[in-house]
Chain A
C-alpha cells in the first residue's frame, strides 16, 4: 500500500508541488538565514580564529570582545612568560587605524601588529608577497577584500602606498583573511611599527598570545596564568565564544534573524500544512474507499505519513539545494565571502522541517482516522 500512497501523491501533482514548495521555502528561509546569522556572528571572532599559531589569548579581565580592548601593561608580557607551562608568549596589537590613500581619502582599518621576531598571528594564506616581507621597514600586508575596498576596481598589486598617522606604509603582501564583522580592511604589520601607525597611548599591548609547553593542556596553562597574573587567559575557542556571546547579548542581530527564521518556520508550516491538508481532504473519498475495503487505520496513517515524508524529503532537498546555490553564487561577493551552511545548521533545519511535516500531517491524520468508511456509499 506504500506504493499506492506514492502513486496517489504523484497523481495530484499540483498539491504535491504546492506542499513541496512550502517545505522548500521554509527550508530556504531557515537554512539560509541561520547560516548568514552564524556567519555574521562568527565574523565578530574571525580575527581570533585566524590566529592559528597560538592557543592562548591573555587579556585584561574587563575585555568582553575582540574589538573593545583594554590594553595590558608591558610588564604583563613578562609575567605571562614566567608562568609554569608557558612555552612562549608574544605581543599582539589589535586596534583600529585610519589610513589615507592617494587622493586624500581616509578609511578606517583593522590594524594587527605582530610580534617583531616571530610574526605570530600572520595571515595563513598569501595571495601575493610573503609574510617575511613584513620585515621591510614600511611593509604592511593587506587582505584582498580590504584592497578592493581601498582601491576599488584596481587589479591587486604590490607597492601601493598609504599613510597612517602621517607615516608611510607600503603594501608588500596581499593575503586572504576571514571577513571581519565590520567590513574594514585588515592590515598586518610588525608590533613595533604598528605603534607608530596609531596615536600614542600609555599602554598599547592589546593581547599576549601564548602557547602551552608540550605536555601541558591549554586549560591547565590558562588556569595557571589567571592564578599568577590576575589576567584573563582564554583558549582560542573560549575567546571566540566570549566575543560571540557579547554580540549576541548586546546587538539586535539575533532577534532579527530569529524573527526571520521563525517566520520561515511558520510560513513553511502554513504553506506545507495547508496544501498537504487540502491534498488529504481531496483524497478523503479514496481513503474512505480503502477503509471500506478493509484497510486498517494504522496502515492508512502509515500511507499519510509516507506521503508527508516524501513531501518533506523532496522539499528539504530542493530548499537545501537553493540555499547551497545561493551561497555558491555569492561566494565571490566580497561582503558575503566565507558564508556557508555549517553541517549542524543543515541538521537543525532538517529537524525543523521534521516538526513542520509533523504538524502538517497531524490534522490530516486525524481526518483519516475519524473518517467513516460508510461515506463511500454517499453520492
Chain B
C-alpha cells in the first residue's frame, strides 16, 4: 500500500543558506526527500538540524538557495507569485508549536479563517468550521476564545483550522512540544485520525520519541542532511496506538 502511493512532495538537492558573505551559514546541505500521499511522515532530528527550515521551504514560506521542490507535480518556483500564494491558501494546512490562533476570534471563528482567506462567504465558512470543531471534539468550547482554552484544546482548534479547507498537504511543526505527554498523545491521535487520508500528505516535525509510533515513516535529519528514512513497522503504526 505504501509502496504504491503517489509522491506528494519531492525535494531534490535542496540547499539553504542564511546570511551572506562571512556570516553565510549553510543550514541544508542538499536534501533529497519524498513525502507520500496518504501517509504521515515524521521529520526528526536534533535541535538546530534544519527541520523547521526544511518544512518552511516545502510549504513555500521560504525560498531554497538551490534545488527543486515539486508539490503534487507542480514546481512552485515556476509559478507566478500570486499563484504560489493561492496554492498555499488552497492546498496547505499549518499546525504550529505556538498554535498561533487569533486571540480576538472564538475557537469556532478561528477555524473559519482559512476559508475566509480562500474567499468563502462568512456564513458558509462558519457553517463548515462548525463541522470541523465537532470533529476535533470541541463542540462545547466553540464559543470560547483561545485564552479560555487549555494548550491541548488550542492545538485541537489549530488542527481543525488546518484541515477545514481540505488541504492536500498538512505541515505540523512540533505540534506537541508545548503540551504535556498525555495531551501530546491525544493531539497526535487526533492528527492521525482526522488528517491522514488518501490524497493528503502529512508532515510532522517532532522531537518527541514517544509519538514516533504515530507516523508511517520517519525521516531522520542531522546537521542539514537526511540521514535515513525508515518505515514505521506496520504493527506499531496500524492500530494507531502509541507504544508505551
- Taking Cβ atoms with an 8 Å cutoff, the residues of A that contact B are 1, 3-4, 7-12, 285-286, 288-290, 292-296, 299, 372-374, 376-379
- Chain B minimum-CB-distance residue to A298: B82
Please name all residues of chain A whose beta carbon is closer than 8 Å to the beta carbon of B90 when the two chains form the complex. 294
Q: Select one of B52, B86, B100, B105 contacting A285, CB under 8 A.
A: B100
Is B88 positioned at the interface, with any CB of A under 8 Å from its CB?
Answer: yes
**Given A294-B92, A377-B173, also A11-B55 (CB < 8 A):** no
Please name all residues of chain B whose beta carbon is closer than 8 Å to the beta carbon of A292 when the two chains form the complex. 59, 61, 88, 94
B90 to chain A, nearest CB (A): 7
Please name all residues of chain B whose beta carbon is closer than 8 Å to the beta carbon of A295 when the two chains form the complex. 89, 117
Is B104 positioned at the interface, with any CB of A under 8 Å from its CB?
Answer: yes
A7/B96 in contact, CB under 8 A: no
Please name all residues of chain B whose beta carbon is closer than 8 Å to the beta carbon of A296 when the two chains form the complex. 82, 85
A293/B117 in contact, CB under 8 A: yes
B61/A7 in contact, CB under 8 A: no
> How far is B86's CA from A294's CA once the two chains are assembled, in angstroms?
6
Chain A proximity mask over B197-234: 1 for CB below 8 Å, otherwise 0: 00000000000000000000000000000000000000
A374/B56 in contact, CB under 8 A: yes
Is B143 positioned at the interface, with any CB of A under 8 Å from its CB?
Answer: no
> How far is B92's CA from A295's CA once the two chains are assembled, in angstroms?
12
- Chain A minimum-CB-distance residue to B55: A377
A379/B97 in contact, CB under 8 A: yes
- Taking Cβ atoms with an 8 Å cutoff, the residues of B that contact A are 52, 55-56, 59, 61-62, 82, 85-90, 92, 94, 96-98, 100, 102-105, 109, 113-114, 116-118, 122, 173
Please name all residues of chain B whose beta carbon is closer than 8 Å to the beta carbon of A8 when the two chains form the complex. 102, 104
A-B contact pairs, 25 of them (CB 8 A): A1-B116, A3-B122, A8-B102, A9-B104, A11-B102, A11-B104, A11-B105, A12-B104, A285-B100, A286-B100, A286-B103, A289-B94, A290-B113, A292-B59, A292-B61, A293-B113, A294-B90, A294-B117, A295-B117, A373-B61, A374-B56, A374-B61, A377-B55, A377-B97, A379-B97
Please name all residues of chain A whose beta carbon is closer than 8 Å to the beta carbon of B173 when the two chains form the complex. 377
Q: Select one of A4, A12, A379 contacting B105, CB under 8 A.
A: A4
- Chain B minimum-CB-distance residue to A9: B104
Please name all residues of chain B whose beta carbon is closer than 8 Å to the beta carbon of A288 when the two chains form the complex. 100
Please name all residues of chain B whose beta carbon is closer than 8 Å to the beta carbon of A289 when the two chains form the complex. 94, 96, 100, 102
A10/B104 in contact, CB under 8 A: yes
**Given A3-B122, A286-B100, also A377-B105 (CB < 8 A):** no
Q: Which 10 A-B pairs have the closest CB atoms?
A: A11-B104, A294-B89, A289-B100, A294-B88, A374-B61, A374-B56, A7-B104, A373-B61, A377-B52, A377-B173
Q: Select one of B82, B102, B118 contacting A286, CB under 8 A.
A: B102
Most buried by B among A1, A286, A374: A374
> How far is B114's CA from A267's CA once the two chains are assembled, in angstroms?
39
**Given A4-B105, A377-B52, A377-B173, also A293-B98 (CB < 8 A):** no
> How far is B105's CA from A290's CA once the two chains are assembled, in angstroms?
13
- Chain A minimum-CB-distance residue to B147: A11
Please name all residues of chain B whose beta carbon is closer than 8 Å to the beta carbon of A286 when the two chains form the complex. 100, 102-103
> How far is B89's CA from A58's CA once the two chains are assembled, in angstroms?
75
A293/B56 in contact, CB under 8 A: no
Please name all residues of chain B whose beta carbon is closer than 8 Å to the beta carbon of A7 when the two chains form the complex. 102, 104-105, 109
**Given A1-B116, A7-B102, A379-B97, also A293-B89 (CB < 8 A):** yes
Q: Select one of A9, A11, A290, A378 contacting B117, CB under 8 A.
A: A290
Please name all residues of chain B whose beta carbon is closer than 8 Å to the beta carbon of A372 when the two chains form the complex. 61-62
Please name all residues of chain A whose beta carbon is closer than 8 Å to the beta carbon of B98 when the two chains form the complex. 285, 376, 379
**Given A293-B88, A293-B113, A295-B89, also A376-B100 (CB < 8 A):** yes
B239 to chain A, nearest CB (A): 31
A6 to chain B, nearest CB (A): 9
Beyond the given A286-B103, A293-B113, A296-B85, could you list 13 further A-B residue pairs with CB under 8 A, ordered by the A residue number? Answer: A4-B102, A7-B105, A9-B104, A11-B104, A285-B100, A290-B117, A292-B59, A294-B85, A294-B86, A294-B117, A372-B62, A374-B56, A377-B56
B129 to chain A, nearest CB (A): 13
> How far is B97's CA from A377's CA once the two chains are assembled, in angstroms?
7
> How far is B88's CA from A294's CA once the two chains are assembled, in angstroms?
5
Please name all residues of chain B whose beta carbon is closer than 8 Å to the beta carbon of A3 when the two chains form the complex. 116, 122
> How far is B88's CA from A286's CA once the two chains are assembled, in angstroms?
17
Please name all residues of chain A whose beta carbon is closer than 8 Å to the beta carbon of B109 when the two chains form the complex. 7
> How far is B161's CA from A293's CA once the two chains are assembled, in angstroms?
10
A298 to chain B, nearest CB (A): 9
A293/B105 in contact, CB under 8 A: no
> How far is B86's CA from A299's CA once the two chains are assembled, in angstroms?
12
Please name all residues of chain A whose beta carbon is closer than 8 Å to the beta carbon of B88 when the two chains form the complex. 292-294
> How far is B88's CA from A288's CA once the two chains are assembled, in angstroms?
14
B128 to chain A, nearest CB (A): 15
Please name all residues of chain A whose beta carbon is closer than 8 Å to the beta carbon of B59 when the two chains form the complex. 292
Please name all residues of chain A whose beta carbon is closer than 8 Å to the beta carbon of B85 when the two chains form the complex. 294, 296
> How far is B96's CA from A379's CA once the two chains are assembled, in angstroms?
9
B86/A4 in contact, CB under 8 A: no
> How far is B163's CA from A55's CA once the two chains are assembled, in angstroms?
77
> How far is B117's CA from A374's CA once the two chains are assembled, in angstroms?
18
- Chain B minimum-CB-distance residue to A8: B104
A304 to chain B, nearest CB (A): 15
> How far is B126's CA from A7's CA once the two chains are assembled, in angstroms?
15
Please name all residues of chain A whose beta carbon is closer than 8 Å to the beta carbon of B114 when the two chains form the complex. 293-294
Q: Select one of A1, A12, A293 contacting B94, CB under 8 A.
A: A293
B231 to chain A, nearest CB (A): 27
- Chain A minimum-CB-distance residue to B177: A379
